[in-house]
Each structure stands twice: as C-alpha cells, then as structure tokens.
Amino acid sequence: MNRVAVVCNLVLVGFSCWAAVAQYPYPEGNGVIPFGLLMVFTPIISLVVLFRSRKRKMQEQQRTIAHQQ
C-alpha cells in the first residue's frame, strides 16, 4: 500500500507540473502563489509522512523480533 501511495504521489507531482506549464501565462493576482505552494508541498509532505510511518513500522518489527529472541 505504501508503494502505491508513493507512485500516486509521483504521478500527482507530474500532473501538477504539467498543469502549471499548461496554464502559462498565469493569471494576475494573489491566488497564483498559494496555488503554486500547495501544488508543490502537498505531495512532498505526503511522501515525508509515508516514509516516516514506514520507518516506524520497521522499527516496531525490529523490536518485536528482538523481544522474541
């Protein structure tokens, strides 16, 4: 499931970049900057959370194995 989420995040980054390029020239106004930041940071934050949860899961498995021995 984690791998699927990572792949989906990479696809999201690709589509976000494609949407940004397709929308050029950008409309004037204050809405472009927050949209750009949201477009870039959402997949990055999601990937960080996935990797941290995976790391925690691996640590828990190692603790379980150590306690069994």
- Percent of the chain past pLDDT 90, that is, above it, reads 0
pLDDT tens, position by position, 57-66:
888 888 888 8
Domain carrying residue 40: 2-68
The letter for the amino acid at 14 is G
* pTM over 0.75, yes/no: no
Burial label for 40, CB within 10 Å (0-12, 13-18, 19+), is middle
- Strand, coil or helix: 50: helix
How many domains is the chain built from? Answer: 1
